[in-house]
A and B are shown apart, each in its own frame.
Chain A
Amino acid sequence: DAGITQSPRHKVTETGTPVTLRCHQTENHRYMYWYRQDPGHGLRLIHYSYGVKDTDKGEVSDGYSVSRSKTEDFLLTLESATSSQTSVYFCAISESLQISYEQYFGPGTRLTVT
């Protein structure tokens, strides 16, 4: 988890409220990713970023938006949280998008939508 922090680490929110999760890195890596992890589904990619202001969709992007205004910060926003978005969210970083590079993961954020 070194060099990557996520905030908050735990959050409980109500359906319909907006939620923003923050990922902060000190490694100066160009690529950043948001995943969600659910029982029976493993890790699924939500969005990723390949530079400041450059982002793209992943496998399960509906209901989520992202922003990256600085190299070190990647924000994930749930505009109107739903119960199906209850999950553990992981941020990851890598030096390159090429899959021959390993990804480094943050400690995760456990989000509960009631």
Chain B
Amino acid sequence: SQQGEEDPQALSIQEGENATMNCSYKTSINNLQWYRQNSGRGLVHLILIRSNEREKHSGRLRVTLDTSKKSSSLLITASRAADTASYFCATDLVQGGSEKLVFGKGTKLTVNP
């Protein structure tokens, strides 16, 4: 069952603009992670935000978490062509006494030079 869903499915912007992607989830979480996937490659971890955190920064990345709305956003500032990739949120899901990381379907970001 899908825990996290990204929005929009696709986003196209010009270099230098900011890109915002959203993730909504269904059940309470302990942590939420964002990953990037370049075309034809594996996923790369970007940032983790815990349920007791509201905002986190890493370079040009800013992640927010609103547990009351069960949503998170990833903001990439001053985008570059190299930021072109798919971005996935991943949330924890407890099933049968074990924790699993569940990925959304991703947002495909295109940054045009």
Closest A residue to B6 by CB, please name it. A42
Grouping DSSP codes into helix (H, G, I), strand (E, B) and loop, the A interface class, with mixed when no group exceeds half, is loop
C-alpha spacing A56/B97, complex, angstroms: 12
Grouping DSSP codes into helix (H, G, I), strand (E, B) and loop, the B interface class, with mixed when no group exceeds half, is strand
Chain A interface size, as a band, is 20 to 34
Among the listed stretches A11-19, A64-72, A78-86, A97-105, which one makes contact with chain B, having 4 or more residues with CB under 8 Å of it? A97-105
Among the listed stretches B10-18, B40-48, B67-75, which one makes contact with chain A, having 4 or more residues with CB under 8 Å of it? B40-48
Given contact pairs A1-B41, A107-B42, A42 touches B104 in the complex (Cβ within 8 A): yes
A41 pairs with B33, CB closer than 8 A: no
Contact of A43 among B30, B41, B48, B103 (CB under 8 A): B103
Rounded to whole Å, the gap between the CB of B54 and the closest CB of chain A is 17
A108 pairs with B41, CB closer than 8 A: yes
C-alpha spacing A56/B96, complex, angstroms: 11
Q: List A contacts of B104 (CB < 8 A).
A: 42
Q: List A contacts of B42 (CB < 8 A).
A: 1, 4, 90, 92, 105-108
**Proximity string of chain B (47-64) to chain A, C-beta cutoff 8 Å, 1 when within and 0 when not:** 010100000000000000
C-alpha spacing A58/B48, complex, angstroms: 22
A100 pairs with B103, CB closer than 8 A: no
The 7 closest A-B pairs by CB, nearest first: A105-B42, A99-B92, A102-B45, A42-B105, A43-B103, A105-B43, A42-B103
